[in-house]
Structure 1
Amino acid sequence: MSEVNTFNQRYPLLRCLLLYRYMPWGFTLTASLFLIVNLSLAGQQWLIGRAVHDVERHVAVVQLPNGVLDYHVALFWLLVLIGVALTRGVLQYLAGIMSLTIGQDLLFILRERILSQVQRLDLAYHWRHGVGEIVTRTTRDADKLRDALINFWRQVFETGVVVLAAVGIMCWYDIWLGLVPLLLTLGGILILVQQTNHLVTLDRAVGQAYDQVNQNLSEGVAGVRVIKAFALEPIRIESFSQQVQVFTTHARTALAYATSRIPLPQMVIALGHVWVLGYGAWLVSQGRLNLGELVAAVLIANTLILRIETIGRVMQVFADARSSAARLWDVLDAEPEILSGAEAVADTALGLSFDLVKVSAQGGGKAILQQCTFKVNPGEIVALVGQTGSGKSTLMSLLPRLMDADQGIVAIGNDQHGWQNIQHLDLSELRQRVHVVPQESFLFSDTLASNLRQSASDATDEELLEALRLASASEVLERLEHGLETRLGDRGVTLSGGQRQRICLARALLTRASILGLDDATSALDAATEQTILHNVRQYQQNNGHPITILIVSSKLSTVLMADRVIVLADGHIQAQGTHHQLKETSAAYRELMGI
């Protein structure tokens, strides 16, 4: 393992702090303000010691020969201390505002990176980790990290400055007066750090339990129709309650550990206060320290101990943040398995070519596709049929490289201008020219126009209406109260399954893709509507000279009859291919599949 990877794994929270480099001026200004505030605190206590010493020397208030009391020295110290306190208050306020601001800026940077990374990672990563885990890392883990970033100033930077200033002043008075509290403070901090390591482990268990809670909640919301259809509410509630109970148990364990371990380091650190008071009193009796210096040393020691003890109180925050930071960097450091090529997609009519393609199941096991070889010419409409589990959706996922083949070549192009291996092509260009519409019609909780423009952000209203016409969805638009500006609800809940499928088809047609894959994307449509859509697409090709190659996955005979050719997929193999009439005469498997 490289040194960089070791650093990334062992110090994830430090990596988050390094993000301050993106705001150097804000960081410098905030650090400077905190430096001044904490140095002035130690200076204020030193000034109090000087004032007390003047009182001890009977010079703060002096009786003049005429009997009048002279308060000049006392008033001087009073004004100085009030001025320092007011200045510190203003600077403390400004430093706090700056700290919160750059903490939120860092949180924004992290969340933006997470969202970008989640979109960049391929489907295999999402299948392995699930929605609940990704949502947890984006919300809970990011929030915990925000708390740590804000507390960084108050509990780490400020404490470091206070320790240096306090020990420096006490060592100036007497070397042992400051050295012993320093050693006790370092010992207490070391105990805190050692305890934090176990807290990180406990919080990882809390985070994993929270992932399960989030996953269950996400599935409960997304699958509410299925739950209600089968009257599963009591079972789902019981399952959710059990997962919440597991999460609560882990959270209580972590909290109990932190609470029970804090007193020990606090006691070690508090011994420094006892030492300053006892040893300082002895120095006063020996004439090596005046009363004002003793008062200042006690005040400084008290400030030091209280500040260090606050680290104990936020130990849980930093442990949580360290665990959360590690989980966030696990996402941010993940590399997509599918990498973009460098070649541009040829500006010509595109067909499909599969040459001995093989795809294995995740984690090994039986191959999903084996030795698949076929060709689809530009502008051709081909139906892909096969039993459930034969590998149709996997084959469709290969077209826009949502997944890659383990062996063989998937290519696009034509015989005249040549064929291009899709793994060598620019991924963004490929997905603009090759689009697959899945059976599950996903629509965003936004307006109809916004959903359609997901595939073509600069499309005009006229182009949106034309795409709806081609997808035989004009009547859907007529039923919507506000037309294109009608909000469709979460996942298009206000529409029927067939309406959602037609809108998704219209969105796909707006891409002006050269190859269009329909992965059972017309399953909710009747035969007449299907025929109208394919007729519209064919007519569009003829009128615009823009041939669209269409590969349709379907199990309906009405759909198959509208295709130019049919490919039969069985157990991952291309078992037969030809026209409907040819296969009806020559393929028993096709006849059985189509119910002929």
Structure 2
Amino acid sequence: MTQARLPPLRGSPLLRCLAIYGEMPWRFTATALMLAGVNIALVGQQVLVGHAVQEAQAGKLVTVEAAGGLDYGRVWFWIGILLALSLARAVVQYGAGLLSLAIGQQLLTILRERILVQVQRLDLAYHWRHGVGEMVTRMTRDADKVRDALINFWRQIFETGLIVLISLGLLFFYSPWLAAVPLALLLLGIALLSAEADALVALDRRIGDAYDAVTQDLSEGVNGVRVIKAFALGDARTRRFRHHVDVFRREARAAIVHASRRVPLPQTIIALGHAWVLGFGAWMVGRGELTLGALVAALLVVNTLVLRIEGIGRLLQVIADARASAARIWEVLDAEPAIVSGGKVPPEGPLGFRLSHVSASPLGDGAAVLHDIGLTVQPGEVVALVGATGSGKSILTALLPRLVDVDKGRLEIGSDAAGWHDVRDLNLSQLRRQVHVLPQESFLFSDSLAANLRLAAPDASDAELERALDMAAAGEVLARLSDGLDTRMGDRGVTLSGGQRQRICLARALLADADILVLDDATSALDAATERRAIDNIRRLRRESARPLTMLIVSSRLSTTLAADRVLVLSAGQIVAEGTHATLAATNPAYRALMGI
């Protein structure tokens, strides 16, 4: 999936969302024309009612025939016209409503797709700073609010704008004074409503932040249910969740109270225009400056006008909510990833990697976790990396595929024969296809075993999937599954044990056919014999392949270090020792302590 084109408009976040309608111009234009026709027809219908009343006043609506009977021809004429116009309006309005809902749903789809694409683009540091709850809220609640506001834009703002123009134009046609006061009251009421908009946006922003906390807590409660049950934390987590919900409810109540206190006054001021037209219009009728039919038409028009403007008052809360939600959405969409792809293609042939005076701070805040790292791993070499908890092992592994970027120094991949290339100059997608990091957390999607494996090799046959499982010492896992490769894994592979998940993830990594494979404690849930079998299989695969596989294995197990060509000891963000297991075991007390020798 590629990044969708963003609208160029750089102003109000809600207007930027509205600009997405430019990607569906025919639907947008058709909806606008249909709604314009509906509202013009509504005012025309009210004018026709005024003409019918005028004929009734003049005695032309019902006349006496020569034979003494009553002629209702004009009555049926007006009834037919009004019914036909009402029917036509209903049909067109129904079609316009369907179109507005359709483009609203399309807008929602576009927004959610862009958020999902952006979530994939942004680097790990951004996700570490922002929780899952924030991303979920922006894709669900915030996107829904924007969609609702823009659908209401059609039903309220656009239609009301047309009604205002047509109605004031008709009143001005009858008398400039008949239109002047409603226009002044309308402008005053809208100004008062607009003055409250920023306060309502700020209130909804606080509601959104509170909702983020609710979503984050709910996500943690579901994903961490095993920990919660293991430590009997159910009551404590429930109280915590209830607190977040109470904060959310309190913020929502504050917004509702503010709107209920401030919005009715402007609505009342606007409604005074109805009284003006009735009073001033009756005075004009008495002076013979306005016909009764015209007064009736003016009253109908101004009544529609007042009702629509009151609807805008009710819509103000929706628009304020949407402005805050749109701002939160564009905060994500406008964020630029700190890690930007280069343009070069990684070199061909066997690949190794080397670090020269590398320092790194994963959060980009200057707090370095790795300091002046120097390291060279030749193509085809198997290197074990050991170190105490918090020494920076996972950050070092994340540097290779540029999940985290170096702050100082150079990280290069290549070989002495093909040359060494700074990873910052390489295309990210190709780099990550050739450098694969398998983390300790084994993540499986809620899909079949085959679908999870084919994420790394979409065209792999069933035989190739089974071979990869055998290489990862997971053949017996497949044999125990009732539906074989078609067995569904459940949410995050919940139906499997930790060791089974790790072996399946290892098989998936082998299917990726990377040149450099990094195992970041990815076999920690395996017993020593199974782990050794998997590593031996991988080493055999390396020997049999025309393109040798380079491996960096992070582990604290003696069996793993025994399988490596070389062992690195990491302490406080620096490599403090390296050599074979035998050499380090004989000369390095820190290594012996780590390995429990």
What is the TM-score when the length of structure 2 is the normalising length? 0.97
Structure 1 residues 308-355: Cα deviation after superposition (integer angstroms, max 9, x where no partner): 101111221111111000000111111100000000011110001011
CA distance in 1, matches of 2:312, 2:447: 46
SS in 2 for 1:400: coil
Aligned amino acid, residue 213 of structure 2 = Q
Structure-1 residue corresponding to 2:3? none
How far apart, in 2, do the equivalents of 1:464 and 1:584 lie? 39
Q: Which runs of 5+ in 2 are unaligned?
A: 1-5
Counterpart of 2:325 in 1: which secondary structure?
Answer: helix
In the alignment, structure 1 segments of 5+ residues that lack a partner are none
Q: Which residue number corresponds to residue 95 of structure 1?
A: 96
Equivalent residue for 2:515? 514
CA distance in 2 between counterparts of 1:223 and 1:285 reads: 78
Tell me, yes or no, if structure 1 residue 308 matches structure 2 residue 302.
no
Secondary structure of the 2:320 match is: helix
Aligned positions, number: 592
What is the CA-CA distance between 1:509 and the residue it aligns to?
A: 0.5
Shift of 1:72: 2.1
Q: Which residue of 2 aligns with 1:152?
A: 153
Shift of 1:253: 0.3
- Residue 589 of structure 1 and its aligned partner are, at CA, apart by 1.8
Aligned mates of 1:355, 1:294 — CA distance in 2: 87
8 Å Cα contact 2:7-2:19 kept in structure 1: no
Q: Pairwise CA RMSD of aligned residues?
A: 1.4
| One-letter amino acid of the structure 2 residue matched with residue 55 of structure 1 | A
Task: Give distance in 2, aligned partners of 1:487 and 1:153.
Answer: 44
Change (3 A) 1:88 1:123: same
Superposed displacement of residue 365, structure 1 = 5.8
Give how far 1:486 is off: 0.3
Per-residue CA shift, 1:543-590, capped at 9, x if unaligned? 231211000000111111110000111111110111111112222221
Query: For residues 467-486 of structure 1, what are the structure 2 equivalents within 5 Å?
Result: 467-486=468-487
Secondary structure at the counterpart of residue 369 of structure 2: strand
Tell me by how many angstroms 1:68 deviates: 2.5
Matched residue SS, 1:576: strand
- Does residue 434 (structure 1) correspond to residue 435 (structure 2)? The answer is yes
Q: How far is 1:366 from its partner?
A: 4.5
* Partner AA of 1:507 in structure 2: R
Q: How far 1:243 sits from its partner (Å)?
A: 0.7
Q: Helix, strand or coil for the counterpart of 2:578?
A: strand
Matches within 5 A, 1:270-285: 270-285=271-286
Query: Equivalents in 2 of 1:473, 1:183: separation in Å?
Result: 78
Shift of 1:45: 0.3
The CA deviation at 1:274 is 0.6
Could you tell me how far 1:146 is from its partner in structure 2?
Answer: 1.3
1:116 maps to 117
The aligned counterpart of 1:74 is 75
- Which residue in 1 is equivalent to 2:369? 368
What TM-score, normalized to structure 1?
Answer: 0.98
Q: 1:458 to 1:176 in 2, by over 3 A?
A: same
Worse-matched range after superposition: 174-183 or 241-250:
174-183
CA distance in 1, matches of 2:290, 2:590: 103
Residues 240-265 of structure 1, C-alpha deviations (whole Å, 9 max, x = no match): 00110001000000011111112101
Q: In structure 1, how many angstroms separate the alpha carbons of the residues matched to 2:373 and 2:107? A: 49
Amino acid at match of 2:300: L
> Secondary structure of 2:156's match?
helix
Q: State the distance in 2 between where 1:142 and 1:5 align.
A: 16
Q: Report whether the alignment pairs 1:445 with 2:446.
A: yes
Q: Tell me which residue corresponds to 1:338.
A: 339
Q: Does 1:455 align with 2:456?
A: yes
Contact 2:349 2:547 in 1 (8 A): no
For residues 351-388 of structure 1, what are the alpha-carbon distances to aligned partners after superposition, in whole Å with 9 as ceiling and x for unaligned? 01011100135364642111100111111110001111
Deviation at 1:71, TM superposition (A): 2.1
Shift of 1:5: 13
Inter-CA distance 70–6: structure 2 relative to 1 (3 Å threshold): closer
Supply the distance in 2 between the matched residues of 1:579 and 1:370 (Cα, whole angstroms).
23
Identity of aligned residues (%): 59
Cα-to-partner distance string for 1:29-86 (whole Å, 9 max, x where unaligned):
0000000000100000001111111111111111133312222222211111111111
Separation in structure 2 between the aligned mates of residue 313 and residue 89 of structure 1, nearest angstrom: 24
Amino acid at match of 2:486: E
CA distance in 2, matches of 1:151, 1:5: 21
3-state SS of 1:312 partner = helix
Secondary structure at the residue paired with 1:59? coil
Q: Distance in 2 between matches of 1:112 and 1:217?
A: 23
- Match of 1:19? 20
SS in 1 for 2:436: strand
Partner of 1:415: 416
Q: Distance in 2 between matches of 1:312 and 1:250?
A: 21
- Find the counterpart in structure 2 of residue 580 from structure 1: 581
Structure-2 change in CA distance of 1:363 and 1:117 (3 Å): closer
Q: How does 1:248-397 map to 2 (within 5 A)?
A: 248-360=249-361, 362=363, 364=365, 366-397=367-398
Structure 1 CA distance for aligned equivalents of residues 273 and 591 of structure 2 = 87
Alignment match, 1:86: 87
Q: Which residue of 2 is the match for residue 465 of structure 1? A: 466
Aligned residue for 1:147, secondary structure, equals: helix
Matched letter for residue 504 of structure 1: C
- d(CA) in 2 for partners of 1:320, 1:367: 40
Pairing 1:539–2:565 present? no
- Does residue 227 of structure 1 match 2:228? yes
> 1:367 aligns to what SS in structure 2?
coil
Mapped partners of 2:34, 2:451: distance in 1: 46
Cα separation, partners in 2 of 1:6 and 1:502, compared to 1, 3 Å: closer
